[in-house]
Amino acid sequence: MLTRRFTGFTAALAGAALLCTALTAQAREYSVSTVLSNAFPWGQAADKWAELVKERSDGRITLRVYPNSQLVNGDQTREFSAMRQGLIDMAVGSTINWSPQVPQLNLFSLPFLMPDYDAVDAVTGGKAGEMVFDAIESRGVIPLAWGENGFRELSNSKLPINEPEDLDGLKIRVVGSPLFHDTFTALGANPTQMSWADAKPALTTGAVDGQENPLSVFDVARIDQVGQKYLTLWHYMNDPLIFAVNRNVWQQFPEKDRELLRQAAEDAGAWEIEKSRGERDDRLAAIKERGVEVVELDDAQHQAFVDATRSVYNTWTPKIGEALVETARQAAENR
């Protein structure tokens, strides 16, 4: 009798353990950091990833998106470090914001390296993209897929920008990257580093004259309402997004779930890139309708900006890696 009772008790414990394991597998939630909300394509990419993962795992895996850099108290440049340390499980992040910790990501901030979408795709989808992913993985973060924040364009409150000389002395808000400082200094501007939270008030008061951002940010954030009357489409850099996971978190997933997460990230990234690029013309038309004067450079005008920033390559190529820069350059030229 005692043996039967003990056996029954053991079976009950085993059943409870199995139930606990099943419930845990069904209820796992992971944090996903983004800088922008789902009012922007960037935030929509993170939401799409979460949606696909939940759907394809039948609710076993939940990705909870935290927009506006909530998990790093608004300091977007700390996002990669926080993910690397395990304070954040996953992120859809910017190459610009992660470049302080991964120098190779400065590749995408080199001025005028990628003139069009075909060049962007050739770089991210080829050997250069693989080299960048290897650099990220070597720092304890697993990159899964590419997204896109878009080409960054230039706006200001003073005058149409048609040539480098037009930038002389203009105070331009830039992100917290030394490469941006060097680029705008080479163009004769006065670059001022500040967070995006501080940028709009500074533009409103005239503390800075201009800024650079993708059209989606200019449009959704209504930058035209803070005195930015002139917009130059110069395509000086493209900011790819990267879907990534903390290495320790990644290793906890069985192989089947790793493939699920990776494929969902790739699908979400492809969806977001297509959506973002497809909306560009409508965004530009809306911006023009609001009275913004838009300058589109011809080939000679564009080349003048390329020539004016060529010195930036001499400074930054050794820091990024000569092999990586050359691989990317060839991919962009041979697109």
- Per-residue confidence (pLDDT) for residue 10, from 0 to 100: 45
Measured distance CA(49)–CA(264) in Å, rounded: 6
- Per-residue confidence (pLDDT) for residue 24, from 0 to 100: 43
- Per-residue confidence (pLDDT) for residue 61, from 0 to 100: 98
Does any domain span residue 18? no
The SS3 of residue 233 is strand
**Domain extent for 91:** 28-333
Are 88 and 31 in contact, with CB atoms under 8 Å apart? yes
Cα-Cα-Cα-Cα torsion 238, 241, 247, 253, nearest 10 degrees, comes to -150
Does any domain span residue 326? yes
Are 301 and 178 in contact, with CB atoms under 8 Å apart? no
Q: What is the DSSP letter of 182?
A: H
Does any domain span residue 70? yes
The SS3 of residue 78 is helix
Say how many domains are in the chain. Answer: 1
- Per-residue confidence (pLDDT) for residue 19, from 0 to 100: 41
Measured distance CA(164)–CA(306) in Å, rounded: 10
- Per-residue confidence (pLDDT) for residue 27, from 0 to 100: 60
Does any domain span residue 19? no
Are 320 and 106 in contact, with CB atoms under 8 Å apart? yes
Does any domain span residue 10? no
- Per-residue confidence (pLDDT) for residue 276, from 0 to 100: 95
Does any domain span residue 17? no
Does any domain span residue 3? no
CATH number of the domain residue 244 falls in: 3.40.190.170
pLDDT, averaged in runs of 10, over the chain (335 residues): 46 43 60 96 98 98 97 93 97 96 98 96 98 98 97 98 98 93 97 89 96 96 96 96 98 98 98 96 97 97 97 96 98 95
Tokens of 57: 């795992």
Measured distance CA(184)–CA(43) in Å, rounded: 28
Phi, psi of 240 (to 5 degrees): -65, 150
Does any domain span residue 243? yes
